[in-house]
Chain A
Amino acid sequence: MKTTFRLALLVSTALSGAAWAEDVTLTIESWRNDDLVIWQDTIIPAFEAANPGIKVVFAPTAPAEYNAALNAKLDAGSAGDLITCRPFDASLELYNKGHLADLSGLASMANFSPVAKSAWQTDDGAATFCVPMASVIHGFIYNADAFAALGIEVPTTRDEFFAALDKIKADGTYIPMAMGTNDQWEAATMGYNNIGPNYWKGEEGRLALIAGTQKLTDPQWVAPYEELAKWGAYLGDGYEAQTYPDSQNLFTLGRAAIYPAGSWEISGFNTQATFKMGAFPPPVGAAGDTCYISDHTDIAIGLNPKSAHADEAKVFLDWVGSSEFATLYANALPGFFSLNSTPVEMQDPLAQEFVSWRDKCQSSIRSTYQILSRGTPNLENETWGASVAAIKGTESPADIGARLQAGLASWYAPQQ
């Protein structure tokens, strides 16, 4: 695979070199090797057709090696012209070292909201160094056939949610909810940060925590742990040793009714599941309350300042910020939603359902990602263990809040 790809690269470079000596070739560094075909067959041809004279090569590395390989290439000056950006500190560090150019002046930056850009900005928001590409949205995916068979309506409030879980549990055909605590991150990502924004009012709470005006011991930050503590009773037998792939399989095999999800599951579930699926956003406290969703900024693209073809690269980046790119990308990868302010038409019904929440709910990102996971102990990693402890009931929600607050206050000045 890799050899074939390298060969293809070599051949294409040789051919294009001979035929189009005046062409400029841009190379994209990325960790999305899963998306290679989509870039080669869909995205790059569309760009090249509209911009003759610029050729683009998508050159991904394995996800786990990406950060290390990219840093080494940037230090050695051999990195590509365009750099795919991880959110927050990993990219911020590259920008501070001068490995990413300031793109604040790029025309298409106007197409993105402040939340969309926050993952690739300096702390003061003065400079934006990557063009946002996509986000993932959290919610719950459910087995629509199971809901129909048991006569359950899609829950909108917490009371309805737990009533539905009780009904599924009493019936006994399905495991009410497919999630395990073995790998820990699901409990935090699909648990705490999924249901939490409804309690801390999304951005309002998240920014207040960063500013130091709210604490992790405040009720709105402890309450999600209290809700998670109720989840344990609805998870499958032996959920303590259930892994992430176990949960995915339990759901797609039709053995579980509800799956706390991230939208990235959509394409996988579409191919695996044989039943009808639906999705609902995290239920709110009382009917009519404003709902908040985790619409987490995940991937962006920036410019290597040492690129010899910075002007052409900026043309490409401008195009990435356009609605044309957004439509192409969002449809090729259902579940990775465009961050562009212009709404994107998507074909996949499940993806449409997820993205429709953006209109009726307030978007926020995962509370632990920006700034707060910069020190030791790392708040994100602590949240994994804390969410698991809440579900298992090994630590009380109040104790969890106190422990996390003490850890955060030990290194983060605004919380001291």
Chain B
Amino acid sequence: MAKGRPIRGHIAVFLAPALLIYSALMIIPLFGTLTESLMNVTEAGERVFVGLANFATLFGDALWSDAFWNALGNNAWFFVVHMLVQNPIGIALAAILSTPRLRMAAFYRTAIFIPTILSFVIVGFVWKLILSPIWGIAPGMLDMVGLKSLFAPWLGKEEYALTTLALISVWQFIGIPMMLIYAALLSIPDEVIEAAEMDGITGTSQFWKIKLPLILPSIGIISILTFVGNFNAFDLIYVAQGALAGPDFSTDILGTFLYRTFFGFQLQLGDPHMGAAIATAMFFIILTGVCIYLFLIQTRLRRYQF
């Protein structure tokens, strides 16, 4: 044995490409944004360091903070709808798909997954057409079953628009939790299932008592992916409702609020510094959420090694 460890130069060489690309595309812009949020321009047009003044405006000035809390609240509701609708249905679909007796499982799996690979632009446009009170098929279909009175121009009403958009997003992304859970269910060894059957645990109780505990880590991962995805969301709202996130900002989420502030809108000129402050706030919100998950939840999940 040689004394001490040899310097393993190849590790650095192998890591370098990924590290360089990641730094150039992610780390440096991130720090650029963080520093930009601490700067502002004076009347004379000079760029000066202002410390936390931008954040004081964002949280202290009612004009800014109202918009911010509105966006954060909407964003939280957007996330809640996904957690309550998308993930349970995704898990249920995966459980149904993994039953061996189901015929045409491959077809269902593909059909349910297809919306996920569609562009936001297509999804937003198609759903706007479906729900359109003028040309849409939704009023006609409700009329056929005698429920026309239930129809409302959902995307145009303050009270329904955000939930409608969240459900459209659920429709689009339901395939992701389904696929992940489906893979997790398939990886449960047959011995475990057989042992359960020997003990007389079958059917639904087998799912609740045996399979669900075994896929909990996957559900955790899905939750955190949903969280990060939802708090970074922007595209669907922008495509369906525009940058003003109407009606009356009822669908405004952090992404659209950031976009309007940073790039400006119509007559409003862009404000890169306040925009960077919002981006930084978003970064810390997501960071906090991920940390809570990593340190409080994931460490307590029991893992089973097969």
Residues of B within 8 A of A181 (CB): 156, 246-247
Q: How far is the CB of A177 from chain B (nearest CB, A)?
A: 14
In this complex, what residue of B is CB-closest to A392?
Answer: B247
Q: How far is the CB of A400 from chain B (nearest CB, A)?
A: 11
Residues of B within 8 A of A388 (CB): 246-248
Residues of B within 8 A of A384 (CB): 244
Q: List 14 A-B contacts (CB under 8 A).
A: A183-B242, A184-B242, A237-B133, A238-B132, A239-B153, A240-B247, A241-B153, A368-B267, A373-B268, A377-B63, A380-B268, A385-B249, A388-B247, A388-B248
Chain B, range 224-265, C-beta contacts under 8 Å to A: 241-242, 244, 246-249, 265
Q: Does A389 contact B (CB under 8 A)?
A: yes
A182 to B242 alpha-carbon distance, docked (Å): 9
Residues of B within 8 A of A196 (CB): none
Q: Kindly specify which of A137-145, A242-250, A345-353 makes contact with the partner chain.
A: A242-250
Knowing A238-B133, A250-B134, A381-B268 touch, does A394 contact B248 (C-beta < 8 A)? yes
A377 to B265 alpha-carbon distance, docked (Å): 12
B267 touches A240 (CB 8 A): no
Q: Does B128 contact A (CB under 8 A)?
A: yes
- Of the candidates A90, A369, A381, A389, the one whose C-beta lies within 8 Å of that of B265 is A381
Q: Does A318 contact B (CB under 8 A)?
A: no
In this complex, the member of A250, A369, A388 whose beta carbon has the largest number of chain B beta carbons within 10 angstroms is A388
- Of the candidates B135, B152, B248, the one whose C-beta lies within 8 Å of that of A246 is B135
A261 to B133 alpha-carbon distance, docked (Å): 22
Knowing A184-B244, A238-B134 touch, does A380 contact B156 (C-beta < 8 A)? no
A370 to B133 alpha-carbon distance, docked (Å): 37
Q: Does B269 contact A (CB under 8 A)?
A: yes
Please name 14 further chain A to chain B contacts, defined as beta carbons within 8 Å, in addition to the given A241-B131, A385-B248, sorted by A numbering.
A182-B155, A182-B241, A182-B247, A236-B134, A238-B133, A239-B133, A241-B132, A242-B132, A242-B134, A376-B64, A376-B268, A376-B271, A380-B268, A394-B158
In this complex, what residue of A is CB-closest to B242?
Answer: A183
B contact face: mostly helix, strand, loop, or mixed: loop
Residues of A within 8 A of B265 (CB): 378, 381
- Of the candidates B63, B249, B267, the one whose C-beta lies within 8 Å of that of A410 is B63
Residues of B within 8 A of A394 (CB): 158, 248
B267 touches A380 (CB 8 A): yes
Q: How far is the CB of A319 from chain B (nearest CB, A)?
A: 30
Residues of A within 8 A of B131 (CB): 241
Q: Does A93 contact B (CB under 8 A)?
A: yes
Q: Does B47 contact A (CB under 8 A)?
A: no
Chain B, range 27-49, C-beta contacts under 8 Å to A: none
Q: Does B154 contact A (CB under 8 A)?
A: yes
Interface membership of chain A positions 379-402, coded 1 if the CB is closer than 8 angstroms to chain B and 0 otherwise: 011001100110010100000000
In this complex, what residue of A is CB-closest to B265?
Answer: A381
Q: How far is the CB of B298 from chain A (nearest CB, A)?
A: 41
B residues neighboring A (CB under 8 Å):
63-64, 128, 131-135, 139, 152-158, 241-242, 244, 246-249, 265-269, 271
Residues of B within 8 A of A89 (CB): 267, 269
Chain A, range 227-259, C-beta contacts under 8 Å to B: 236-243, 246, 250
Interface membership of chain A positions 171-204, coded 1 if the CB is closer than 8 angstroms to chain B and 0 otherwise: 0000000001111110000000000000000000
Q: Does A219 contact B (CB under 8 A)?
A: no
A368 to B266 alpha-carbon distance, docked (Å): 12
Q: Does A88 contact B (CB under 8 A)?
A: yes
Q: Does A60 contact B (CB under 8 A)?
A: no
A183 to B156 alpha-carbon distance, docked (Å): 9
> What 3 A-B pairs are tightest by C-beta distance, nearest first?
A238-B133, A240-B156, A241-B156
A89 to B266 alpha-carbon distance, docked (Å): 11
- Of the candidates B155, B266, B267, B269, the one whose C-beta lies within 8 Å of that of A241 is B155
Residues of A within 8 A of B267 (CB): 88-89, 368-369, 373, 378, 380-381
Residues of B within 8 A of A410 (CB): 63
Q: Does A407 contact B (CB under 8 A)?
A: yes
A327 to B285 alpha-carbon distance, docked (Å): 58
Residues of B within 8 A of A236 (CB): 133-134
Residues of B within 8 A of A88 (CB): 267
Residues of A within 8 A of B246 (CB): 181-184, 385, 388
B242 touches A241 (CB 8 A): no
A87 to B249 alpha-carbon distance, docked (Å): 27
A88 to B154 alpha-carbon distance, docked (Å): 37
A242 to B246 alpha-carbon distance, docked (Å): 12
Residues of A within 8 A of B135 (CB): 246
Knowing A88-B267, A184-B242, A246-B134 touch, does A241 contact B154 (C-beta < 8 A)? yes
A275 to B90 alpha-carbon distance, docked (Å): 52
A193 to B271 alpha-carbon distance, docked (Å): 27
Q: How far is the CB of B2 from chain A (nearest CB, A)?
A: 58
Q: How far is the CB of A281 from chain B (nearest CB, A)?
A: 25
Residues of A within 8 A of B128 (CB): 243
Q: How far is the CB of B250 from chain A (nearest CB, A)?
A: 10
A380 touches B266 (CB 8 A): yes
- Of the candidates A242, A368, A373, A385, the one whose C-beta lies within 8 Å of that of B156 is A242
In this complex, what residue of A is CB-closest to B261?
Answer: A376
A242 to B267 alpha-carbon distance, docked (Å): 23
Q: How far is the CB of A259 from chain B (nearest CB, A)?
A: 15
A184 to B154 alpha-carbon distance, docked (Å): 16
Q: How far is the CB of B3 from chain A (nearest CB, A)?
A: 60
B156 touches A381 (CB 8 A): no
In this complex, what residue of A is CB-closest to B156?
Answer: A240
Residues of A within 8 A of B266 (CB): 185, 378, 380-381
A246 touches B132 (CB 8 A): yes
Q: How far is the CB of B57 from chain A (nearest CB, A)?
A: 9
A240 to B158 alpha-carbon distance, docked (Å): 9
Residues of A within 8 A of B244 (CB): 184, 381, 384-385
Residues of A within 8 A of B248 (CB): 385, 388-389, 394
Residues of A within 8 A of B134 (CB): 236-238, 242, 246, 250
B153 touches A238 (CB 8 A): yes
A256 to B275 alpha-carbon distance, docked (Å): 42
Residues of A within 8 A of B268 (CB): 373, 376, 378, 380-381
A89 to B63 alpha-carbon distance, docked (Å): 22
Q: How far is the CB of B252 from chain A (nearest CB, A)?
A: 11
A238 to B241 alpha-carbon distance, docked (Å): 16
Chain A, range 95-141, C-beta contacts under 8 Å to B: none
Residues of A within 8 A of B63 (CB): 376-377, 407, 410
Residues of B within 8 A of A250 (CB): 134
A369 to B268 alpha-carbon distance, docked (Å): 10
Residues of A within 8 A of B241 (CB): 182
